[in-house]
Structure 1
Amino acid sequence: MNLELEDDEIQFRDEVRAFLRDNLTPELAAGGRSATSVFCDPQYSLPWQRILHARGWAAPTWPKEFGGPGWSEMQRYIFAEECARAGAPNLAPMGLRMVGPCIMHHGTPEQRAYYLPRILSGEDYWCQGYSEPGAGSDLANLRTRADSDGDHYVINGSKIWTTHAHFANMMFGLVRTDPDAKPQKGITFLLIDMKAPGVTIRPIINLAGEHELNEVFFDNVRVPKANRIGAENDGWTVAKYLLEFERGGSFAPALRVCLKRIRAAASAESELGPPLLDDSAFAARLASAEIKVEAIQITEHRVASALSSGQNPGPLSSMLKTQGTEMLQKIEELGLDLAAHYAPVARAHANGHGANEPPIGNDAAARYFNSRAASIYGGSNEIQRNIMARLVLGL
């Protein structure tokens, strides 16, 4: 595995940098930097997605036949790193990175022809209906039911921790279609119109005071059977395929950018006193984080190398999910120390729920609180360690 960029990769990097310089407006960059989690407000992410879509770059992982750029793994990595460096808004992952690939793999030709262009353009904005009260990491316990009624399913139940459901017009969700089957055998994967009669959304305000999460209730919601992905009662197969994409991706580019900003801010004097880097304990923690992020980057290159040669990275995706999310939490702790007593200063948000004033530009408290969930969503890190123990150590 060669970690140095080839000449054509350097040329591609320069092309991406020029595109970002010419198309990423200061307003969009400010919106991207203000995001306190991986989810950026759609008032910034959707305009940026439309700009990328016009260039054919909205879905870096998609093959050309479905509207993607057909990039190599290294080109995707370079693109992610340059977007993070420039402060571009994160695009909503639910459509582009999760349900889109599922529709490509498990959907019918009609479903691909209808949904994939709408995902690329941002016309459909998606949320994920997996977790329920009592069914989080153990999704096999889900109880939301879908009863057959002619050409439709009738859904009753609820979902929880549904990110951006209040923005979404579509949900991909897991429902129980056979209550008498073994837990993982009676589940079906459906695409649900969030504007359908009987859908109710209630906000959950998180520790940062932000409205990102929701509860979603279904009261006799009718969903056409044409919206089923895969076979009835085989939704677990589709869900496992989707989780490969949810747990994948590149952590190192964004983490490296965060560390560079923290190091720069910690090197400067402020009204709080001398540079925080003068504190040997903080300097040691920062250096340790930088070393570990470099190790994560090497692992991501290993995954890219395996994928580019047609191999399955196997438990490396669980390793990356675990290391990447836990390192994110450590970096946000460094940011909180850097912000000191400025960290919890509240400011009004357009949604009225508040966030944090960034006197040194980092929304430290909101980012810290949001990052607490990173080791839980997408399959908790305890589950990822079980996967690694079984597949690597044979335990």
Structure 2
Amino acid sequence: MGSRQHIALGVFLVLGLGACGNLENAPLRVGTIEGQLTEFDPEVAVVSLVGAHEVRSAVDAEGRFKLEGVPTGPAELFVVATAEKATRVSVKVTGGQSVKLQRVAPRDAGFFEMRVKSSHGERVAGVQVSVRDTPFERLVLDGAGRLRVGPLPDGCYALSIAGVGFPEVQAEACVGSGEKKELKVQLEANEELLNRCGLTGCADGLVCGPGGSCVECVLDGQCGAGMMCKGFRCAAAGPRCGACQDDGSCQVGAACQPLAEGGVACVKQCSESVNEEDIAANRCEAGFTCQQGNCLPDPARFVGCGALLQLGAECADDVRCQKLGLSGGLCLEGQCTVACTQDQECPGVSRCEDSAVGQVCSVRN
């Protein structure tokens, strides 16, 4: 009986010592890092642990910081000192001990200038940007899809961009000391959503159109004065190519220029490369295409400005319309017209309408 009691007591003591050993060893798995910044703004400054940014410390009025509970082994500190300065500091942590750093001197920081757009005009305001392993989490884009991320110590970073209606996008980029790097990201709205723009909203200048897509207009009233909605885009109510004497004879945005077929007419300039800040200013109106920097009648339907002005001319047969320069011209109810598939192919107030011979551009009375 006595021997059994001794055995039980021995087991109890072993278990007890083991438990005490675990309690005593727990502090040896973490350490403390202390330091002081040479330059800082107490309202901005924060020191965090790369890979575990929940381990962080504010900075006091003298620039001192203290991180507790830092896992033992090699570590790296992510230091934001001021709105314009930051740095990284490598350190080795020994369990149960406090590492005291020499005075930490921050350097000029880098910044990512985010420019985020959606592929179909959905609104991206409210989309969030996070930089992995840093304190910069869930930063919100402004109404134009812009955001400055930083200050960042020089180095390479992994970013994630996500928002309601948009699948998460991953990006990687590097930035140098004092560098401001522009990052352009295009988001694709979730195609499984039946009414995408009803959920995300549309970018400024666009409205929610049929099928959940963002478009420039649905009704004429959504366009400016003297404009009309054609093919969900705002276009001038009257065609270009009008006769002119000088630039003052033309609408705003057009100039009086000589034509390849002879004579002069009001012609709008265009750009093959779209200016993201002002798409409307660089594109051509309905019935026109950009040809060597000028908006001219679509050659698939009109052989020059003179031909475009013959839309609606009197005719007896198709041959008459084709001689007037309407490519594939049709004589319908005594007036010349051309075939079309959508409003955007018809100039001015003309629209693509059904007829006895298929879809054609309507003509003026």
**Which bracket does the TM-score occupy, shorter chain normalised?**
under 0.3
- More helix per residue: 1 or 2? 1
Larger gyration radius, structure 1 or structure 2: 2
| TM-score, reference length from structure 1 | 0.18
- More strand per residue: 1 or 2? 2
